[in-house]
Structure 1
Amino acid sequence: MATMNKSIFYILLLTALPLYFTGCRKEVRPTSMTIKDSVRHYYPIKQGQQLDIMFTITNTGDAPLIISEMQPSCGCIILDKSSHIIIPEDGIRQFKATYNSIKNVGEVVHRIRIFGNMLPDGRAELKFDVNVVPDADYTRDYEELYQEFNTKNGIVREMVDGKESELGYYVGEP
């Protein structure tokens, strides 16, 4: 009788176990989305200025939009985001990106690639361009940049007189 109860228990367990695991399985369906003004042309900025970019993503599909990754095309773009973002059906979410123009001059084109469960191929793109204008009429050469750095940091006197700890010594009369 005990073995029969054990066998009934195991049969029930084996039939209930697959039903339990099918309830845990969730399928991520693809959905459609739009980025408001996905191609942008900004007015010129001075070299060294930061450009704040706000972009809006709208989930236009019937499934939640799961953004798994956002990749800027340059390290000069900082994204204000979390790692996994979920936008519900018909939901809207704004994101902020900051572009630092310190190392660029001239016409600059950058992209922010967005990966997730969006149609048709799981990725979308925001593209922007801006003209970065240098401070003066000309691009400063290395000597000018070095002189400016030394002037800001007070190193000019040290270059003329030398460091006190490295003056050395002399022999004989002064």
Structure 2
Amino acid sequence: MNILKSFFVCGLLAILISCGNSGNKEEQSTATLANEAAKGGQIEFAESVFDFGQVKEGEVVEHEYTYTNTGTAPVILSQVSASCGCTTPSYTQTPVLPGKSGEIKVSFDSNGQVGTQQKIVTIVSNADNRVTTIQLKGEVLPK
């Protein structure tokens, strides 16, 4: 009788374990497909560094960086952040299809920023090059 119970418990465990693995494989397959679908986008900037030259302290410098999706899947920017609070980025919120372009506008407030400046904006996306940067640099002259 104990042997019969042992076989029953082992059989039940085998069924439960195989069901659990089946679900994991399906989740893994779904995750793999999602990752593959996200791959293929590629961000390429027309210019990744903008030198604004010299400005007087207190002036606001604005520049628009244009990028093209040179890949095969849509690119979505998930985060665009600046290295300092004096620099404010805004960017294309909609997916950029292959062959199409998007933009990132950067505004730099030079108030209190005298001297040589190099501001870095970090872009996080679903593209193959997931993290990329652009730069704004120049010199702020005192008032």
TM-score (norm 2): 0.70
CA distance in 2, matches of 1:68, 1:30: 16
Tell me how far 1:79 sits from its aligned partner: 1.7
What are structure 2's unaligned runs of at least 5 residues? 1-25
Query: RMSD of aligned C-alpha atoms?
Result: 1.9
1:85/1:69 CA distance change after superposition, 3 Å = farther
| 1:109 aligned onto 2:103 | no
Give the strand-richer structure, 1 or 2. Answer: 2
| 1:54 aligned onto 2:64 | yes
| 1:124 aligned onto 2:132 | yes
Tell me how far 1:118 sits from its aligned partner: 2.2
More RCO (CA 8 Å, sep 6+): 2
Tell me how far 1:70 sits from its aligned partner: 0.4
State the partner residue of 2:12: none
Work out the number of aligned pairs and report it. 111
State the partner residue of 1:78: 88
Tell me how far 1:66 sits from its aligned partner: 1.4
CA deviations over 1:125-147 (Å, ceiling 9, x no partner): 10121100001xxxxxxxxxxxx
Query: Identity rate of aligned residues, in percent?
Result: 23
Contact 1:68-1:85 within 8 A present in 2 as well = no
Question: In structure 1, what residue type is equivalent to 2:106?
Answer: A
State the partner residue of 2:98: 89
CA distance in 1, matches of 2:103, 2:135: 16
CA distance in 2, matches of 1:28, 1:70: 18
CA distance in 2, matches of 1:111, 1:30: 25
1:40/1:75 CA distance change after superposition, 3 Å = same
Tell me how far 1:29 sits from its aligned partner: 1.7
**Structure ID, larger Rg:** 1
What are structure 1's unaligned runs of at least 5 residues? 1-17, 136-174
Which of 37, 44, 49 is the equivalent residue of 2:47? 37
TM-score (norm 1): 0.58
Structure 1 segments of 4+ aligned residues over 3 angstroms from their partners: none
